[in-house]
C-alpha cells in the first residue's frame, strides 16, 4: 500500500517481506491515524510490523505507538557509507562465489536460506515479482557448490540499500556476509550510486564497520501482537 500518509508491504500468507515502513502524520492526527492502522491490522488488512526510523513523521511516533498498545520488539542500527570511501580490506573471502539470481530456481534457494536463518515464512511469489524490477537485485553466495549466503540490493535515486544479508549457521565466521556486501556495493558504485545504507543488528554492526559504514540512527520495529 502506498499513500501520502503511510506505505507498507503486506504478504498475507508469509512473514516477509511484510511491514509498515513509512508514516507521515500530522501531530494533531497521530492518535486517529494509529487507531485506523490498528483496526486494519486487527482485521488482517495491514501488516503487524511497524518500522520507525529517521524519516518517520512525527519523530515521536514510537512513543505514541507504545501508548496505543504496540510493543517495541526489534532494535537495529541505521548505518550509511559514501561508496567512494568503501574500504579496501583483505578479509574478503575469495572462496565464496557471489552471483546474481537469474531464475526462479535460484530465487527459491535464496528464499529457503532466508527462511531458515530468520525462522520466517518468505512470500516467494512476491519475490518473483520483485526479481524482474530494475531497481532490485538478488544475490546468492556459493561455497563448495552449495548455496550458503543471500543479499538483496534495492536501489533508489543515489542510494543503494542492503537487505536480507544472511549466511547459513554452519558457514559463518568466514566473512561471507562482508564478501556479499562488498560485491553488491561495488556493483552499485559502478552504476553511479553514491551511498550505501542498511539496518544492522548489534551482532552485524562490526561486520559493516569493516567496510566503512557508520551508525547514524536507531531503527525500531513495533508490533501490535508483541511478536
Tens digits of residue pLDDT in 68-81: 999 999 999 999 99
DSSP letter for 194, please: -
* Torsion of Cα atoms, 179 then 185 then 190 then 195, to 10°: -160
Residue 226 lies in a domain: no
Residue 89 has pLDDT above 90, yes or no: no
Residue 16 has pLDDT above 80, yes or no: no
What residue has cell string 559493516? 208
Q: How many domains does the chain have?
A: 2
Residue 114 has pLDDT above 80, yes or no: yes
The domain of 139 spans: 81-218
**What is the arithmetic mean of pLDDT over 160-178?**
96
% of the chain beyond a pLDDT of 70: 97
Residue where a domain stops, chosen among 76, 102, 120? 76
pLDDT tens per residue, range 23-36: 999 999 999 999 99
CA 111/CA 212 separation, integer angstroms: 28
Same domain, 139 and 195: yes
Burial, 103: exposed, middle or buried (Cβ in 10 Å; 0-12, 13-18, 19+)? exposed
Q: Let me know how many helices (H) and strands (E) the chain has, helices first.
A: 6, 10
pLDDT tens per residue, range 183-206: 999 999 999 999 999 999 998 999
The pTM (predicted TM-score) of the whole model is 0.87
DSSP letter for 201, please: -
Give yes or no for a contact between 147 and 109, defined as CB atoms under 8 angstroms apart.
Answer: yes
Same domain, 46 and 134: no
Q: What is the mean pLDDT of the chain?
A: 92
CA 8/CA 16 separation, integer angstroms: 12
* Helix (H/G/I), strand (E/B), else coil: 195: strand
pLDDT at position 14 is 66
Same domain, 16 and 59: yes
Give yes or no for a contact between 40 and 46, defined as CB atoms under 8 angstroms apart.
Answer: yes
Residue where a domain stops, chosen among 76, 95, 115? 76
Paired residues of 198 in beta bridges: 79, 162
Same domain, 51 and 105: no
Burial, 151: exposed, middle or buried (Cβ in 10 Å; 0-12, 13-18, 19+)? buried
Amino acid at each position: 500500500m502506498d499513500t501520502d500518509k503511510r506505505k507498507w508491504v503486506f504478504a498475507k500468507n508469509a512473514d516477509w517481506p511484510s511491514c509498515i515502513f513509512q508514516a507521515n502524520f500530522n501531530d494533531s492526527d497521530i492518535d486517529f491515524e494509529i487507531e485506523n492502522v490498528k483496526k486494519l491490522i486487527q482485521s488482517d488488512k495491514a501488516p503487524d510490523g511497524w518500522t520507525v526510523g529517521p524519516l518517520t513523521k512525527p519523530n515521536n511516533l514510537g512513543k505514541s505507538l507504545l501508548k496505543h498498545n504496540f510493543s517495541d520488539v526489534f532494535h537495529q542500527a541505521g548505518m550509511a557509507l559514501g561508496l567512494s570511501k568503501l574500504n579496501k580490506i583483505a578479509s574478503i573471502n575469495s572462496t565464496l562465489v557471489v552471483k546474481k539470481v537469474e531464475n526462479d530456481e535460484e530465487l527459491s534457494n535464496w528464499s529457503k536460506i532466508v527462511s531458515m536463518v530468520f525462522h520466517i515464512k518468505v512470500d516467494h511469489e512476491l519475490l518473483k515479482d520483485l526479481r524482474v524490477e530494475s531497481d532490485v537485485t538478488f544475490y546468492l553466495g556459493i561455497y563448495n557448490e552449495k548455496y550458503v549466503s543471500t543479499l538483496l540490493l534495492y536501489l533508489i535515486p543515489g542510494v543503494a540499500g542492503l537487505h536480507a544479508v544472511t549466511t547459513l549457521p554452519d558457514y559463518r565466521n568466514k566473512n561471507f556476509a562482508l564478501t556479499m556486501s562488498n560485491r553488491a556495493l561495488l556493483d552499485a558504485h559502478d552504476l553511479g550510486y553514491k551511498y550505501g545504507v542498511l539496518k544492522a543488528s548489534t551482532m552485524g554492526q562490526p561486520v559493516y564497520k569493516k567496510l566503512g559504514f557508520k551508525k547514524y540512527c536507531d531503527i525500531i520495529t513495533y508490533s501490535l501482537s508483541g511478536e
